[in-house]
Structure 1
């Protein structure tokens, strides 16, 4: 048996082989995150534009869950939810643009969009953080509307409405905003910006 040997040129495989696809994948990921962030900001703008519609829905939801809880029930009409404070006196509470949860949701959506754009959070956790924020803001604002209705029915316009709307309701709204921002940060798992330490210069 004869054995022959020959030198066949082989491609040189450096330590960076297989990394050529990384820049392309990184660009795709960046493009997707940019599109997602712009979509979230666009949704925030849409909500602000549709505040009257959102306020109407908030009034309907408040009337729905307050109806079995308050005396004589609660109904709604447009952006108003109506509560009996006396046997013959019906009060209509107007969910104005300033009272809508959208006022708090819109800026927090923009914050969430920046989180996703910064690439410091994963897609899944970023979206979960935004959903958690939405739930907290909506529930807190509904609790505020319910508190105002209950206090007014219990103690009348003064001091019930005055205290629950201007003092306690405002504090509850602020607490809800802070809690939703904390939830957005914690659930999203926001990471610090990573610093790359280079040794010996660029390879």
Structure 2
């Protein structure tokens, strides 16, 4: 029996809010950049590939160990709390705000990352839930964000001829890039960009129950 292994890698950028505005000359020749407003890359994906509209792609969020992942459907009143690792269905082209909390390594910490879904996997029929896009949030990245910095990750599906010539194991292989690099361009050169994870920056307004901070994108959350 032949088993097909899906190999994911991530390109990682660690920067302050100030440095996140840096651009380079070569970026002008590539239409997308991770520094563009959140949601732009997802909308571009649907404009260039309209057949992806309405497609739900499984996504699995993995925290350093235990912890909670909370999803919002327009407001904090519609919050759904799940345990890590947490697998849900997200629509291609949409952006989702989640809350991560209850992490034993970081008592009392609450962070609100966004996940922008750019593409889908072509899993065997009936096995779609077995092939989620893995969104791994490490302890090191959380420590950086708690220092008032930002972490941006682009998760991409490696091209077979460019994949690392060794077993990847359970962890996702990551690559740190310079702050001046365009992560979407780098991911596109290495494979097929699947999602963007952004951690740091905004927090919700406690006085606004309908704060647009919360995601209104459609989501499929399995019963717990």
TM normalised by structure 2 equals 0.25
**RCO higher in structure (CA 8 A, sep ≥6):** 2
Higher strand fraction: Structure 1 or Structure 2?
A: 2
Higher helix fraction: Structure 1 or Structure 2?
A: 1
Structure of greater Rg: 1
